[in-house]
A = this chain, B = another copy of it.
Amino acid sequence: MPVANTKAPARIQIQYPTPTVDGGRYPAKRVVGDVVAVTADVFRDGHEVLRAVVRFRGPGSRGWTEAPLHPLDAHVNGVRWGGEFTVTTQGRWEFTIEAWSDTFATWRDELQRKLGAGQSDLAGELSEGVVMLEQAMARARETGDRDAIESVLEVLGDPAGAPAAALAPDLFTAMERASERTGSTTLERPLALEVDRVGAAFASWYELFPRSWGGLAEVEKQIPAIAELGFDVLYFPPIHPIGESNRKGPNNTLTAAPGDPGSPYAIGSEEGGHDAVHPELGTLEDVRSLCATAREHGMDVALDLALNASPDHPWLKAHPEWFQQRPDGTLKYAENPPKRYQDIYNFNWDTEDWRELWQAWRDVVVHWVETGIKVFRVDNPHTKPFPFWEWLIREVHAVDRDVVFLAEAFTRRAVMRHLAKIGFTQSYTYFTWKNSRGELSEYVSELAHGPEREYFRPNLFINTPDILHAYLQHGGPPAFVSRLVLAGTLSPAYGIYSGYEHFENVPVREGSEEYLDSEKYETRQRALDGPLLPMIRRLNEIRRENPALQRLENVTFLETYNEALIAYVKSVPGNTIVCVANIDPQHAQEGSVVIPAHLGLAPAFAVGDLLTGEHYDWRIGPNYVRLDPAGKQAHVLRVEQQ
C-alpha cells in the first residue's frame, strides 16, 4: 500500500495537557484574573532540542497570544512542560500548545559536547552551521540579530576561532529570534476554559424567606445591614404565587387551614406562574428595586429556580402537553414512592413539544435576568434532562455572562459531577453530612485536589430549609461556631440559611433533618439580630482580607494528634492561614498542630488569631493547641512573619 501524504508526518507528541476535563470534552473553570497553569507531555523520537509555547485567546478574539513553556523535570530527563497565562475577561477562552524542534539549539548543543570531548575535525559540522546561519540571516527581522549572525558567519571558515564564535550567547539569542518552527505540532483541537466573574467562585450566601421578613420591600430595607455583615449573595426560595389546590399545612401536613401560606415550591396560581411575584411579597417593581439596592451594596440577589408547578399553575391549562398525563386522563403529581408531593406536578421532559417547553424556561430565566437577578439556585436539577441544562445555561450566558447557576443536587457523585461539567457554576455538596475529621479531610481533599478541582465549585451551605443535621441539633452553639468556621475557611463559597445565627436546632421530630415549624410551610417572624452575627461579620471580613481563603485548591490538612481537632493550612504568596477547629461541641480538646517543613515557613514564626486578636509563637513541627466549647472553639491564625 503506498503512503498517501506528501510531507512526512509530524514527529512531536503533545499529550495529557492540563487543565482539561475528561480529555477536553468539557471546559475547565476559572475566574477573571486567574493565572492558568498549563502543562503537557512534550516529546519526540531522537535527541533534538524542543521548544514549546501555549497559545491562548479570549472570547471573540481571532488572534492567538503566546506564552513560553519550559521543561518542568529536565533534571530527571522528563517530558513534562509547563507555563502560564492570565485570563482577563469573562466567557469561553481557548488554548492550545505548539511545539517544534529547535535545529540550531540541537546543533549548538552537539557542537558544545564535541568540543568538550576534544574533537577537532568539525568541518562538516561547521558547514551545517553556515547554512543555518545564512538561512536565519534571511529571516531575521531585527538589524541587531542580522549583525550578530553576520559577524559569526564571517569567521565560521576559520577552524580555530569558528567553534567558539558559533557558541556565543549573542548568536544563540539572535538565532532563536530568527528561528523557524521546524516540524511544528499543535494539539488536535484547542482546549476550552469557561471564565466566570470572581463572585462566581468567592461568595458568602445568606438565605431567607421574604415572607418571614414582611415581603420584598421590607427585605430591601435590610440590605445595608446584610451587606455590612459581609454577605455577597442574598438568596430567596421561590417568590412566585403559590397554588391553592392540595396546599400543604404547617409541618408538611396534607391539609392547609385557611390563611396557611403553603410551600413556595408549589409554584403557580391564578395570579401567575414562574414569571410572576406573589402579591403578598410585592411586585416585579419591588424585585427590580431590591436588586438595584443590592447592587449598590455590592451584593447579588439569588432566586430559586424550581421547575415544577402547583395544580393551579397557568401552564397546566395553557400547555397540558408539558405535563405527565396518564392514559386515563389524570395528571401525575410528583412522587418518589412512598413519598408523595400532591401539591406539585412535574413536567414531562419527553413531550413532543419539548422545544417549546425549553424555550419557555429560557424566557422565564431571561425575564428575571432582565429584572436584575444574576444568580439562580436551581432546585433538583438532577431530575431534569442534562441536555436541557447545558442548553439553558449557554442561552442565558449569551444574554448575560454574569449569571451564576448553583446546582442544588444532593444525589450520586457522578450526577453532581456531570451537572458541574455541563455548565453549573457552583454546586451544593455533601458537606452537611461530613462532620468527623476523617470525613471532612477526605471529602475536601478530593474536591480540592482531585479531578473535580477543575470544574466543580463547592458551595458549603451549613444548613438549608431542608437540612438541619443531627450534629447541630445536639451540639448547640459550639457546634454552630465550629461548622461556621469550617465552611467559611474551607471553601471560597459558603452559605447559611436564616435562623443559623439564632442557633435554631429543633427538628420536626427526633431522627429527622427537617426543622420544626419549617418556614417552607408557614410564615415566621424574622429579624437580623441573632447572637452569632458578630462572629459571622468577622469571619466574612477575614475572608475578604485574606486571599488564601478565597481559593480551594491550596488547602492542606495537618496532623493534630487528636481526632476531635481538625487543622489545615491555606496559602497564597504573602498570605498563609492556619485554621484549627474543635469538632467536639461538648468537651475541651488538646492536641498539637504539626506544621510540615515543605510549606516553606520559617523555623519559628508568629501567628495572630484573626478571630480574637491573640498572638502565639509557632514553629515547624508540633504546636500545642487547646480549644474549649466554653471559650474558643476555633482558631483562624494568620502567619505574621514569612
Contact = CB atoms under 8 A, between A and B. Distances in A.
A394 B160 CA distance: 51
Given A8-B350, A327-B130, A383 B13 contact: no
Nearest to A77: B412
Contacts of A124: 326, 328, 330, 332
B128 A1 contact: no
A386 B338 contact: no
Interface stretch (A84-92, A108-116, A280-288): A108-116
Contacts of A77: 412
Contacts of A387: 8-11
A382 interface: yes
A391 interface: yes
A119 interface: yes
Nearest to A381: B45
Interface string A101-122: 0000000001001101101000
Interface in A184-235: none
A75 interface: no
Interface string A239-275: 0000000000000000000000000000000000000
B354 A385 contact: no
A321 to B, nearest CB: 13
Interface in A379-401: 381-387, 391, 395, 398
A551 B154 CA distance: 64
A616 interface: no
A610 B141 CA distance: 75
A349 interface: yes
Contact of A79 (B22, B113, B415): B415
Contacts of A561: none
B45 A386 contact: yes
A47 interface: yes
A123 interface: yes
Interface string A340-374: 00000000011100110011000000000000000
Tell me the dominant secondary structure on chain A's binding face: mixed
Given A2-B355, A124-B332, A338 B119 contact: yes
Contact of A78 (B45, B349, B351, B412): B412
A612 interface: no
A43 interface: yes
Interface in A305-341: 326-328, 330, 332, 335-338
Given A8-B350, A10-B387, A350-B8, A415 B123 contact: no
Contact of A116 (B43, B78, B338): B338
Interface string A1-31: 1110100111101010000001100000000
B128 A326 contact: yes
Interface residues of A, number: 65
B113 A337 contact: yes
Contacts of A60: none
Contact of A412 (B79, B131, B351): B79
A338 B130 CA distance: 22
Given A8-B350, A8-B354, A114-B338, A418 B131 contact: no
A623 interface: no
A467 B48 CA distance: 25
A349 B412 contact: no
Contacts of A113: 337-338
A573 to B, nearest CB: 31
A41 interface: yes
Given A8-B349, A326-B128, A327-B127, A384 B338 contact: no
Contacts of A385: 8-9, 11, 45
A362 to B, nearest CB: 9
A138 interface: no
A349 to B, nearest CB: 7
A573 B412 CA distance: 34
A46 interface: yes
Given A113-B337, A130-B327, 11 more contacts: A5-B355, A8-B349, A10-B387, A11-B387, A23-B23, A43-B414, A46-B382, A77-B412, A110-B335, A127-B326, A131-B327
8 contacts: A3-B355, A8-B387, A15-B418, A46-B383, A110-B335, A124-B326, A124-B330, A128-B326
Closest 5 CB pairs of A and B: A117-B338, A113-B337, A9-B387, A127-B328, A79-B414
